[in-house]
Structure 1
Amino acid sequence: MSIYDEIEIEDLTFDKTLQIYHYPCPCGDRFEIAIDDLRDGQDIAVCPSCSLMIKVIFDKDDLPKPEEPDQTQGQQQVIAAAA
């Protein structure tokens, strides 16, 4: 496995909707890695268009916390169904 570069996580962009970090690749596409993969200890982001890979330098404790399901929304649905 050949690593193109090592990049600090602060230099990657986080897409909250897709829950992925991405970083521009020299080929014109971008390296991508899911936040769940980072939480599982994986640190290699891959470009889907070419064979390049980067190593993401990060501290697992500094990753955004998983969002909890919205409890109030579920309660509102139960109350509406009971009415």
Structure 2
Amino acid sequence: DEIEIEDFSWDPVLKVFHSPCPCGDRFEITKLQLSKGEDLATCPSCSLIVRVIYDMLDYEDYCEDDEEDSVEFNEKLESISDNVAELTL
């Protein structure tokens, strides 16, 4: 499937664009990924992938430094999610 970037929502805390996934989670893609020409948004909970339709020129000047905080935050979030998953087992 294909989804236009305008149909995604921007999360300023996680610094990702997201769109609902049929599994109940959400497809995610970052500005850094878009600036590198990557156009596949993935769902972290299932195997579904969607192609993001966007104008690469809108993101070509995006600075990787802005993304570093998001990467660190996402790593912490994954660690917390893993710990919660272990607690619910």
**Offset at 1:13?**
0.4
Task: Specify the code of the residue in structure 2 equivalent to 1:47.
Answer: C
Structure with the higher fraction of residues in strand conformation = 1
**Offset at 1:66?**
4.3
TM-score using structure 1 length: 0.68
Task: Specify the code of the residue in structure 2 equivalent to 1:10.
Answer: E
Task: Specify the code of the residue in structure 2 equivalent to 1:45.
Answer: A
**For structure 1, which runs of at least 5 residues remain unmatched after alignment?**
68-83
Secondary structure (helix, strand or coil) at the match of 1:51 reads coil
Matches of 1:66 and 1:8, distance apart in 2: 19
Identity of aligned residues (%): 55
Give the stretch that moved more between structures: 27-36 or 11-20.
11-20
Tell me the number of residue pairs that the alignment of Structure 1 and Structure 2 aligns. Answer: 64
Moved over 2 A (4+): none
Task: Specify the code of the residue in structure 2 equivalent to 1:22.
Answer: H
- For the aligned residue pairs, the C-alpha RMSD in angstroms reads 2.1
Secondary structure (helix, strand or coil) at the match of 2:50 reads strand
**For structure 2, which runs of at least 5 residues remain unmatched after alignment?**
64-89
